[in-house]
Amino acid sequence: MKADILFIHPGNQKRVYQDLSKEYTAIAPPVWTCLLAENARINGYSVAIYDVNVDGWDDKVPGELIAKYNPELIVIMVYGHTPSSSTLTMPAARFIAKDIKSFNKSMPIALGGIHPSALPEKTLREEPVDYVIQGEGTYTISSLIACIKGKKSLNDVQGLWYWKGDSICSTPRPAVAEILDADLPNYAWDLLPDFGRYRAHNMHCFQDFADSKKDDFSDVRSPYVSMNTSLGCPYACHYCCINSVFGKPGIRYWSIDRVMTWFDFLHGKGVRNVRLDDELFILSPKRVEELCDRLIERKYGLNIWVYGRVDTINEPLLRKLKRAGINWICLGIESANALVRNSVNKVIRKDIAKTVKAIRDNGIYVLGNYMFGLPEDNLETMNETLQMAIDLQCEYINFYTVMAYPGSELYESARKEGHLPASWDSFSQHGYDTQPLPTKYLSAAEVLKFRDDAFVKYFTNEKFLAMVTSTFGNRVRKHIEKMLNVKVRRRLTESLQQNTQGVPL
Residue 179 domain-assigned?
no
Residue that terminates a domain, selected from 135, 170, 205:
170
Q: Based on the fold, state whether residues 93 and 225 are members of the same structural domain.
A: no
Q: Is residue 74's pLDDT more than 60?
A: yes
CA distances from 489 to 12, 483, 502 (A): 17, 14, 9
Q: Based on the fold, state whether residues 275 and 417 are members of the same structural domain.
A: yes
Q: Based on the fold, state whether residues 145 and 202 are members of the same structural domain.
A: no
Non-local (6+) Cβ contacts of 24 within 8 A are: 17, 202, 483, 486, 505
**pLDDT bracket for residue 20 (50, 70, 90):** confident
Least trusted range by pLDDT, from 151-165, 240-254, 352-366, 489-503: 489-503
Q: Based on the fold, state whether residues 218 and 156 are members of the same structural domain.
A: no
Direct distance between the N- and C-terminal alpha carbons of the chain, in angstroms, rounded to an integer = 38
Of 411, 488, 410, 408, the residue nearest 453 (C-alpha) = 488
**pLDDT bracket for residue 87 (50, 70, 90):** very high
**pLDDT bracket for residue 504 (50, 70, 90):** very low
Residue 431 domain-assigned?
yes
Give 460-471 pLDDT, tens digit per residue: 999 999 999 999
What does the alpha-carbon distance between residue 345 and residue 165 come to, in Å, rounded to a whole number?
A: 43
Q: Which domain holds residue 94?
A: 5-170
Q: Based on the fold, state whether residues 384 and 431 are members of the same structural domain.
A: yes
Of 289, 248, 215, 268, the residue nearest 478 (C-alpha) = 215
Would you mind telling me the total number of residues written for the chain in this entry?
505
| Dihedral sign computed on CA atoms, order 152, 155, 161, 165 | positive
Question: How many independent structural domains does the chain possess?
Answer: 2
Mean pLDDT of 302-313: 95
Q: Based on the fold, state whether residues 489 and 397 are members of the same structural domain.
A: yes
CA distances from 499 to 3, 435, 502 (A): 50, 17, 10
**pLDDT bracket for residue 499 (50, 70, 90):** very low
Q: What is the DSSP letter of 279?
A: T
Of 45, 68, 65, the residue nearest 188 (C-alpha) = 45
Q: Based on the fold, state whether residues 199 and 138 are members of the same structural domain.
A: no
What pLDDT is attached to residue 501? Answer: 45
Q: Are 331 and 309 in contact (CB under 8 A)?
A: yes
State the DSSP H helix or E strand holding residue 55, giving kind and residue range, or none if neither: helix 52-55
pLDDT more than 70, % of the chain: 96
Q: Is residue 217's pLDDT more than 70?
A: yes
**Residue 214, exposed/middle/buried by CB under 10 A (0-12, 13-18, 19+)?**
exposed
Residue 130 domain-assigned?
yes
Q: Based on the fold, state whether residues 204 and 151 are members of the same structural domain.
A: no
Q: Is residue 247's pLDDT more than 70?
A: yes
Residue 403 domain-assigned?
yes
Pairwise pLDDT comparison (243 vs 501), residue with the higher score: 243
pLDDT more than 90, % of the chain: 83
Tell me the one-letter amino acid at 234: P
Entry pTM: 0.94
Of 78, 28, 89, 24, the residue nearest 271 (C-alpha) = 28
Residue that terminates a domain, selected from 122, 138, 170:
170
Q: Based on the fold, state whether residues 162 and 198 are members of the same structural domain.
A: no
**pLDDT bracket for residue 83 (50, 70, 90):** confident
Query: 10 Å Cβ neighbour count for 352?
Result: 17
Residue 183 domain-assigned?
no
Mean pLDDT of 169-193: 93
**pLDDT bracket for residue 23 (50, 70, 90):** confident
Q: Based on the fold, state whether residues 211 and 93 are members of the same structural domain.
A: no
Q: Based on the fold, state whether residues 218 and 96 are members of the same structural domain.
A: no
| CATH code of residue 216 | 3.80.30.20
What pLDDT is attached to residue 175? Answer: 83
What pLDDT is attached to residue 503? Answer: 46
Q: What are phi and psi of 223, to 5 degrees?
A: -70, 160
Q: Is residue 497's pLDDT more than 60?
A: no
What pLDDT is attached to residue 78? Answer: 94
What pLDDT is attached to residue 85? Answer: 84
- Mean pLDDT value across the chain: 93
Q: Is residue 42's pLDDT more than 80?
A: yes
Q: Based on the fold, state whether residues 298 and 205 are members of the same structural domain.
A: yes
Work out the angle at residue 315's Cα, subtended by the Cα atoms of residues 314 and 319, and round it to the nearest 5 degrees.
Answer: 110
| CATH code of residue 123 | 3.40.50.280
Residue 400 domain-assigned?
yes
Q: Are 401 and 337 in contact (CB under 8 A)?
A: no
Tell me the one-letter amino acid at 187: Y
What does the alpha-carbon distance between residue 85 and residue 431 come to, in Å, rounded to a whole number?
A: 12
Q: Are 160 and 131 in contact (CB under 8 A)?
A: yes
Residue 444 domain-assigned?
yes
Residue 180 domain-assigned?
no
Give 252-274 pLDDT, tens digit per residue: 999 999 999 999 999 999 999 99
What does the alpha-carbon distance between residue 498 and residue 44 come to, in Å, rounded to a whole number?
A: 56
